[in-house]
Copies of this chain bind each other. A is one copy, B any other.
Amino acid sequence: MDAVFAALADPTRRAVLQRLLEDGPATATALAPAFPVSRQAVVKHLGVLGDAGLVTATRDGREVRYAARTEPMVEAASWLARAGAQWDARLARLVRQLGPR
């Protein structure tokens, strides 16, 4: 949970994640030019996202293809919903959608 929120706290990282969600899997090298940082920086970001379970890396020949995962996002949303359900009708509705777990 720590790792998930921490990963989402960086704007570049959120942008990388969105890109993977929208355009599908990609390599760090392919991703980097779309962002104002070096390839190495993107690799580090993908590492952080990976530690949080938000992306998976699969090797394909000499390339490493990164893909987004939604599971941790659901869990994060679930935490938010449960924490605030008592005080916010919208979050309470989300709890009913996601289940109390």
A80-98 interface code vs B (CB 8 A; 1 in, 0 out): 1101101110110110011
* A68 within 8 A of partner (CB): yes
How many identical chains are in the complex?
Answer: 2
Cβ-defined partner of A74 (8 Å) among B1, B22, B79, B84: B84
B93 with A97: CB separation less than 8 A: yes
A41 interface hit (Cβ, 8 Å): no
Q: Summarize A's interface: helix, strand, loop or mixed.
A: helix
Interface residues, chain A, CB within 8 Å of chain B? 1-2, 5-6, 8-11, 14, 17-18, 21-22, 68, 70, 73-74, 76-77, 79-81, 83-84, 86-88, 90-91, 93-94, 97-98
